[in-house]
Structure 1
Amino acid sequence: MSLKNKIFLALLLILTPTLTMAQEIIPIDQEPPPGAIRYEVTLSGEVESQILQSLTYISDTISLKNRPPMTMAQLKRRIREDISEFTKALRSFGYYASEVGYTIDTETEPVKIDFQIKPGPPYLITQVTITSICPDMDPDTPMPSPQTLGLEKGQRIRSSKVMDAMDIIIRDFRSKGYPFPIVEISEVIIDHREHSASIHYTLDPGPWAMLGEVSTEGLDRVKPQYIHERIPWETGDEFKTSKINQFRRQLTVGGLFSMVEINHPDELEDDNTLPVRVKVTERKPRTVRAGIGFETDIGPELRLGWTHRNLKGMGETLEFDLRLSDPLKHVEGRYTIPSFLRRDQKLTLKTGVTQEKQDAFDSESVYVSSMLERSLSDRLSVGAGVGYRIGRVKQFGESKDLGLVYFPTDLTWDGRDDILNPGTGISFNLKVIPFFDTLDSKSKFVKTYSSLNTYLELLSEKRIVLANRTALGTINAQSKSHVPPDERFYAGGGGSVRGYSYQTAGELEDGKPVGGLSLAEINNELRFRVSKHSGFVLFLDGGRAFDSSYPDFDQKLYWGWGLGYRFFTDFGPIRADIAFPVNPRDEHDSSFQVYISIGQAF
């Protein structure tokens, strides 16, 4: 590496405080010795805030202010050392003609020091080249563009971006079949007359490789076939890091392993293939879940669950869930077969029993269903299935027997960064379900429901997150009487419009909800995280159920607002909310509602 290159790389080191600086910092409350020169420091000049923060961070004069020198000569030496470091730092930000001066006012107590920063003209990038030193590399292999490297022509040169570009070049060639590329900065030319910079890289791509055989380590209950079915390449395919990363995600998402390591040796086989080694640690296959919740209008709720996530050694999942509350008793069993017929499909079989005693209706039912789901990408999936539900529903003293056959279809896009506590991303879900009542030929309808969730991180590390949810639902039917009460839309409650009792944000008859043929819901939360385990939210919810098949926004929405506390755990946040109705109906709505459960509201 050339001397110029070494000097250039050394510029980054000034952005990290030295060990000596860290050792010299003393407690703020320690009194300096008598006769020490106390001082205050300011930095002036037209300097962007990021550079000013860096200069402040690396300044000995500032960091050692609580350890003042005994003589003016010592203070000036400290200042001169800072000027030298400031000049280096300004160069790393692309200012190679900077001027740094200072003034000392000894007539004041404490002494006032002012660093005067003149960055000078920025030095702009005029050229970026990447030269391969490998004669065997295909000359048509494209090099990453300056835009891809973050070193666009006309942009101010920054040492951090010059270094980052080396990693980008390596990743680019690892995605093109070269597992062992080496990149160096061969030359950086600074033209002081033109205030410009040209950057030149040298690339040794190494040998082109193909993906080879996969070996596994650490399997016990899981069959090797489970891993081999998820390999997203054929032996002999071109090496690509994207395939390795996809393989890692495939093994992680199934939940069978607590640890997945995928690596390869540093040398190719004689046939130019690169073997891939997989090392895993299996999770315990059985999980027992228990949770409790509380809502003012429903009372306490108990939730129990049991899961076996590897029933036959191929990731087959058997689950049972039980929900018990005063208005709802529900038990469901699910059996999921991954890689059903093809690698990107799964089949889920369900059966369950439900008993509900709501203000809106009473119902008892038994159902069975099957759902085939296909992943179109890491984010997008579609599904279709068939189900049958037999039961009895009662509303306002009238009972009706049901024999509903239904055909659910589903489309889901999930771009959230975290399922349990998202901070960024978007998720969208669309469900379309045709229903036919085998016991009443007039009872047939199509139920459609869609929801869109968005998450915007306003402060890093999820310290402030703006979360929004919008949901719309429609039922296409001849009339509301042809739709069973337990299949209609309702709004209100902890998962809907907080501040209103469960299912009551809509038309009431004799003080009881009757449900609607359409639905609109809007939820907004501003989430604050104040410590590792604690946070709070402010929220505003709105919505209602409508009589018409499509939402009629000429009718007023019911709005509720409130605040909540979040206790963050490894399995998700525990939430407690108190909500107040904005437009309460005097005889029907309470002054507030309380909700306690596990997980964010949405």
Structure 2
Amino acid sequence: MCALRAGPRRQRWLIHFQEQVQNILGDRLRPRGYVGHWLIVAATVALAAVSAIAVGAQPADILPPGVTPMDVDPLAAEPLETDATPAHAPFAEDIPGLDYTLTITGTEDPDLLRIFDGVSLLRELRDRPPRTFAGLLRRIEEDLDRFRTVLRSEGFYGGTVDFEVDDEADPIEVRITVSPGEPFGLTRYDVTYVSVNDVPPPTTPSLEDLGLSIGMRARAARVVTAERRLIDHLINDARPFAQRTDRRAVVDHRDRSMTVDVFVDPGPPAGFGPATFDGLDRTKLDYVEQWIDWNVGEPFRQDSLDDVQSGLVGTGLFTSVVVTHADALDADGNVPVTVSVIEDKPRSIGGSIGWSTDRGFGGRAFWEHRNFFGRDEDFRLSADVDQLEQGGRIEFVRPNFKRLDRRLFATAQASRVDTDAFEGFTGSLETGLEWPLGGNWFASAGGLIEYSNLDDGESRQSSVLGGIPLRVSYRGADDDLDPTKGVRFDLGLTPFAGQSGTATFFHLTEIATAAYYPIDQRRRYVLAGRTRIASIVGEETSVIPANRRLYTGGAGSIRGFGFQLVGPLDAANDPIGGRSALELTGELRARIWGNFAVVPFVAAGNAYDRSLPDFSEPLRWAAGLGLRYHTPIGPVRLDVAFPVNRRPDVDDRFQFYISIGQAF
């Protein structure tokens, strides 16, 4: 058995001598396998012994020469470099790698062990074993340095790291013993301002604001982060040129303490100067100036510059936004600001296609201009066509209307419809405003005028309605086409009044929710659920225009049943529609291989003639299985669904759906 054990300093001597002997003898001895290895080890031990006599041994409890009990600048980080045996060393192709195992002992702290595993070169290169014993020792030495750096960064400045190698075992056993010792505490943190020519000097944030406290473990990362917070505080306190000039961190091994002195040049106080925009072409200057929330001369704040950048990036108008301030003050003691942008192309065209057994083939095409008048207006023309409905739509959206975050929208649409429930023409105009309520909450209000001429199987009726759509929504999902986490909530209240054969007044209330819960951290397995409940009060079903009645069934509600077929039916088994509806859906989205996923799902619901679900008819249940192929623009969806409590004379045995995007 050959077991090597070395202290922190002597480990480098062993590796150095091993490499020197390897250089002298290795090439000649390498073809002879372990004979050469044993000679190298023997020579190494002999050279190490001679060196130990010449230099003199150091007891383990004595600090290395040149290091006093007061270690200065213990926060200086050492680079973590990868050191691997060259792939094309002599005879490398003839020598198998030296397999090894690694055991880390000496501490049961799970956080430390996790960090050690994360930085260990021996762990990282475990599947690429070294071809020489010297290569293995180099990896060990690298890990020892990394582990010492970890100990210091975690506040264990008196900790030691040692190792043992059993090269007689197969595979070779490497044991690294870490003795963290007691953690060191922060006993003082002082900030000194240099080159302060003004009175009074800048304010210093409290230790709590810097993320520090006296007595806390002296973790290097916390101390360095405190410096960044200090500089950020000064930059946001009218000191745009603040910078750290020096730091003195002293560790006292006698009482296991750290003291830190930070020296900062705060620079002169400054106010905001004028803002200049560079790179504008189609975009109007007065529109982007909305994000400038300061007046010339007001105290400088870096946060305001960051807000300008994030706000302009959020418009989607620019491929690049860079906000900078000048390197010096102007004659008035202010710092000018420059906003440099590169505009994105504003026009795009697109489309999608789909197919389902209840609606047949269908598609959508659109043309869009995202900066129509130069103030971020979205103007969109679209057409939707399938076997049941053909229509067109014009949409106009003006973001940041009169103030930031308020959205003006207007929509005009017309369509020709021919379903089992009704056939005819509908057209509408709608406009309104949407604004944030805080967080992910939004509200909107507007006006709606709608005309329809429809035949519901009983009679043809022309209707004119006016409505006031009011809506509150919560948008907490992480993606529109493929959500994996979060919640959506939508509450809509719309009173309608108008003429539909007779004077008509009714009120529509609709609540829809969707929730997404990732089972694993990578979000490859997601539980998703959706509910919808709707109610109409004020008129009988027969008085309400057919297109405003409530229906369920189809791809967007209860997969497995035909479009609008779940609910009241007439003598010919055509849907009548109702005044209340309930829908429930749950599914598991499981990405089982690469971009492919399977989605088992279940759905239930029904529509009722009364204003609230009375369950005079049972819920209609369906179950199915879907396939997904995930693409950059969203998942391609293929679903097949089967009605569980099928009505023999009404429902087909299954339904197919093909489209882009998740079902909800």
Query: C-alpha separation between the residues in 2 aligned to 1:152 and 1:454?
Result: 41
* Residue type of the alignment partner of 2:418: K
- Where does residue 390 of structure 1 map in the other structure? 451
Note the alpha carbon deviations across 1:397-424, whole angstroms, 9 max, x for none: 3332211111112233434444444454
CA pair 528-127 structure 1, distance change in 2 beyond 3 A: farther
Q: Does structure 1 conserve the Cα–Cα contact (< 8 Å) formed by 2:71 and 2:252?
A: no
- Where does residue 256 of structure 1 map in the other structure? 317
Query: C-alpha separation between the residues in 2 aligned to 1:331 and 1:64?
Result: 60
Unaligned runs of 5+ in 2: 1-69
- SS of the residue 2:77 aligns to: helix
> 1:549 aligned to 2:611?
yes
Equivalent residue runs for 1:369-380 within 5 Å? 369-375=430-436, 379-380=440-441
> 1:472 aligned to 2:533?
yes
Greater mean alpha carbon deviation, residues 472-481 or residues 194-203:
194-203
- Where does residue 351 of structure 1 map in the other structure? 412
Greater mean alpha carbon deviation, residues 302-311 or residues 197-206:
197-206
Q: Does structure 2 conserve the Cα–Cα contact (< 8 Å) formed by 1:260 and 1:280?
A: yes
Equivalent residue runs for 1:239-250 within 5 Å? 239-250=300-311
* Residue type of the alignment partner of 2:545: P
TM-aligned CA deviation for residue 447 of structure 1:
1.4
Equivalent residue runs for 1:5-84 within 5 Å? 6-11=73-78, 13=79, 16=80, 18-21=81-84, 24=86, 33=95, 38-62=99-123, 66-68=128-130, 70=132, 79=140, 82-84=143-145
- Where does residue 223 of structure 2 map in the other structure? 162
CA pair 377-57 structure 1, distance change in 2 beyond 3 A: closer
- Where does residue 147 of structure 2 map in the other structure? 86
> 1:279 aligned to 2:346?
no
- Where does residue 628 of structure 2 map in the other structure? 565
* Residue type of the alignment partner of 2:359: I
Query: C-alpha separation between the residues in 2 aligned to 1:169 and 1:461?
Result: 35
Note the alpha carbon deviations across 1:445-503, whole angstroms, 9 max, x for none: 22122334444555566555554444433323343334333223333332333333333
Equivalent residue runs for 1:580-591 within 5 Å? 580-581=641-642, 583-587=644-648, 588-591=650-653
TM-aligned CA deviation for residue 391 of structure 1:
1.0
Q: Does structure 2 conserve the Cα–Cα contact (< 8 Å) formed by 1:256 and 1:285?
A: yes
Q: Does structure 2 conserve the Cα–Cα contact (< 8 Å) formed by 1:517 and 1:545?
A: no
* Residue type of the alignment partner of 1:562: L
TM-aligned CA deviation for residue 381 of structure 1:
3.6
Q: Does structure 1 conserve the Cα–Cα contact (< 8 Å) formed by 2:589 and 2:598?
A: yes
> 1:500 aligned to 2:567?
no
- SS of the residue 2:75 aligns to: helix
> 1:515 aligned to 2:577?
yes
Note the alpha carbon deviations across 1:67-113, whole angstroms, 9 max, x for none: 44655x87567545543442332232333444544444444323323
Query: C-alpha separation between the residues in 1 aligned to 2:540 and 2:456?
Result: 16
Greater mean alpha carbon deviation, residues 164-173 or residues 321-330:
164-173
Q: Does structure 1 conserve the Cα–Cα contact (< 8 Å) formed by 2:74 and 2:250?
A: no
Equivalent residue runs for 1:68-467 within 5 Å? 68=130, 70=132, 79=140, 82-123=143-184, 130=191, 132-133=193-194, 134=196, 136=198, 141=203, 143=205, 145-146=207-208, 149-151=210-212, 156-183=217-244, 186-190=247-251, 197=258, 201-375=262-436, 379-440=440-501, 443-456=504-517, 463-467=524-528
Q: Does structure 1 conserve the Cα–Cα contact (< 8 Å) formed by 2:423 and 2:454?
A: yes
CA pair 578-382 structure 1, distance change in 2 beyond 3 A: same
CA pair 197-270 structure 1, distance change in 2 beyond 3 A: same
- SS of the residue 2:327 aligns to: coil
- SS of the residue 1:252 aligns to: helix
CA pair 304-98 structure 1, distance change in 2 beyond 3 A: same
Root mean square deviation of aligned Cα: 3.7
Q: Does structure 2 conserve the Cα–Cα contact (< 8 Å) formed by 1:546 and 1:552?
A: no
Query: C-alpha separation between the residues in 1 aligned to 2:593 and 2:210?
Result: 37
Greater mean alpha carbon deviation, residues 184-193 or residues 392-401:
184-193
Q: Does structure 2 conserve the Cα–Cα contact (< 8 Å) formed by 1:178 and 1:205?
A: yes
CA pair 302-214 structure 1, distance change in 2 beyond 3 A: same
Query: C-alpha separation between the residues in 2 aligned to 1:528 and 1:200?
Result: 54
Give the % identical residues.
29
> 1:596 aligned to 2:658?
yes
Query: C-alpha separation between the residues in 2 aligned to 1:456 and 1:208?
Result: 49
Query: C-alpha separation between the residues in 2 aligned to 1:142 and 1:447?
Result: 58
CA pair 214-4 structure 1, distance change in 2 beyond 3 A: farther
TM-aligned CA deviation for residue 324 of structure 1:
0.3
Q: Does structure 2 conserve the Cα–Cα contact (< 8 Å) formed by 1:490 and 1:515?
A: yes
Query: C-alpha separation between the residues in 2 aligned to 1:500 and 1:137?
Result: 78
Greater mean alpha carbon deviation, residues 325-334 or residues 161-170:
161-170
User: So what's the TM-score if we normalise by structure 2?
Assistant: 0.76
User: So what's the TM-score if we normalise by structure 1?
Assistant: 0.83
Query: C-alpha separation between the residues in 2 aligned to 1:26 and 1:483?
Result: 83
- SS of the residue 1:443 aligns to: strand
* Residue type of the alignment partner of 1:10: A
Query: C-alpha separation between the residues in 2 aligned to 1:179 and 1:145?
Result: 22
Q: Does structure 2 conserve the Cα–Cα contact (< 8 Å) formed by 1:515 and 1:545?
A: no
TM-aligned CA deviation for residue 126 of structure 1:
5.9
TM-aligned CA deviation for residue 436 of structure 1:
0.8
Q: Does structure 2 conserve the Cα–Cα contact (< 8 Å) formed by 1:132 and 1:202?
A: yes
Greater mean alpha carbon deviation, residues 448-457 or residues 121-130:
121-130
- SS of the residue 1:222 aligns to: coil
Number of residues of Structure 1 aligned to a counterpart in Structure 2: 587
Query: C-alpha separation between the residues in 2 aligned to 1:508 and 1:335?
Result: 38
* Residue type of the alignment partner of 1:296: T
CA pair 39-245 structure 1, distance change in 2 beyond 3 A: closer
- SS of the residue 1:301 aligns to: strand
Q: Does structure 1 conserve the Cα–Cα contact (< 8 Å) formed by 2:620 and 2:645?
A: no
* Residue type of the alignment partner of 2:497: F
TM-aligned CA deviation for residue 215 of structure 1:
1.4
CA pair 104-261 structure 1, distance change in 2 beyond 3 A: closer
Query: C-alpha separation between the residues in 1 aligned to 2:238 and 2:448?
Result: 47
CA pair 461-124 structure 1, distance change in 2 beyond 3 A: farther
- SS of the residue 2:420 aligns to: coil
Query: C-alpha separation between the residues in 1 aligned to 2:137 and 2:188?
Result: 41
Query: C-alpha separation between the residues in 1 aligned to 2:76 and 2:224?
Result: 8
Query: C-alpha separation between the residues in 1 aligned to 2:312 and 2:72?
Result: 42
Query: C-alpha separation between the residues in 2 aligned to 1:164 and 1:64?
Result: 31
Query: C-alpha separation between the residues in 1 aligned to 2:436 and 2:486?
Result: 19
- SS of the residue 1:513 aligns to: coil
CA pair 144-366 structure 1, distance change in 2 beyond 3 A: farther
